[in-house]
Structure formats: structure tokens, C-alpha cells
Amino acid sequence: MSTFQRCPETVNDMARELLCEFATHKPLLDARLTIDFVFAFAEIDEQTQEPKGNALSKGGVKALGLCRKIPLKDRAMGRADAEIALDGQWWESATREEQRALLDHELHHIAVRMDKRGLVRDDLGRPVIQLRKHDYEFGWFSVIAARHGRASIERQQAAEMMLDAGQYFWPSIAQEKAA
């Protein structure tokens, strides 16, 4: 079972930097959206001093960060509009660049709802938010890709990503692996 603690102010500071740095986050700033940041820590095995499981997971898969909307009732009780949970053990060992990339990723999930009149607000006068899905979601079995080649959903998903994004993703990845 994971334990949780509020993130230190340095995480809030980093989030503010990212929100101001990238234009895609401007609607969140304009809406004065509030976000709670929390670290999750996996339970530690007393004998091995290793984590017993994942601090965070989604669909049974390890996650380094998760973003969620806070329910209206909890917002009425003083919580923020959204919450970003971060794997505390990973965070402590990550570089600043890796921390910024993960935090930017989680912030990018948050979108404010707009209509023809502008920003949509809830019963509390707070901005209504929605969670942005990933551009690509992959469930991958290498053995299936190898067995079925182009007929496998794995290869079809890879081809889709390659066609959509092309060489944008791939050249530096191969070079980094070789180094």
C-alpha cells in the first residue's frame, strides 16, 4: 500500500515555471486553475529495503505520475481543481530535466473547458476542467508483433505513430541507446 505526502514547494515552483514557459499551458494560467501536488511512496520491504510494489499504477501498470480532476464536493471543501500525484522514490533519483519533463507531461493532461462564451465555470465559480488523453496509447506484446508482423495491432500502432510523427521521434533514440 502506498503512502502519500504533500510535495514540497519546489515542485509547485517548478510547475509554475513550466506553466509560464509553454504557451500550451496559458489557458490554465488565464483560468487561475489550482493544482495539488502529492508524492506517492511504495511500501518498503523491511528485509530487502526494496519497494514491495508500485507507488502509482494505472490499469495495473507502473506510472511515474497521474493527473486527476478533483470532484466538486472536495473542491467545495478546499481542495484544488486538479491533483498531480508523482512517484516520490523516482522523483528523488531523477534529474531536474527528467522531473521537468514528467511534470510538464502531467500538466499537459489538464485542459479547461471552453464554449462559445468562453471559460466554463462550475457551481463554485471554478473552471471546469477535462483531462487530455495521450496522443498515442499502446499496449504492446513483442512476441505478437514478431509472430504476426503487419497483421498485429502492435505493428499497426507503430506504423501509425511513424506515419504521424515520422523521424521526429526516432533518430535520437537510436543514437542515445548506442551511447
Q: Which three cell numbers stand for residue 99?
A: 522531473
Q: Would you state the pLDDT for residue 51?
A: 87
Q: What is the mean pLDDT of residues 3-14?
A: 98
Class of domain 3-131: alpha beta
Helices (H) and strands (E) in the chain, counts: 8, 10
Model pTM score: 0.86
Q: Give the Cα separation of 174 and 177 in Å (integer).
A: 5
Rounded to 10 degrees, what is the CA torsion of 171, 173, 177, 179? Answer: 60
pLDDT in tens, 21-79: 999 999 999 999 999 999 999 999 889 988 889 999 998 889 999 999 999 999 999 99
Given a contact cutoff of 8 angstroms between Cβ atoms, the answer to whether 147 and 98 are in contact is: no
Q: What percent of the chain clears pLDDT 90, i.e. is strictly above it?
A: 69
Q: Minimum mean pLDDT among 73-82, 97-106, 168-177: which range?
A: 168-177
Domain ranges for the chain: 3-131, 142-178
Q: Would you state the pLDDT for residue 135?
A: 84
Q: What is the mean pLDDT of residues 140-163?
A: 87
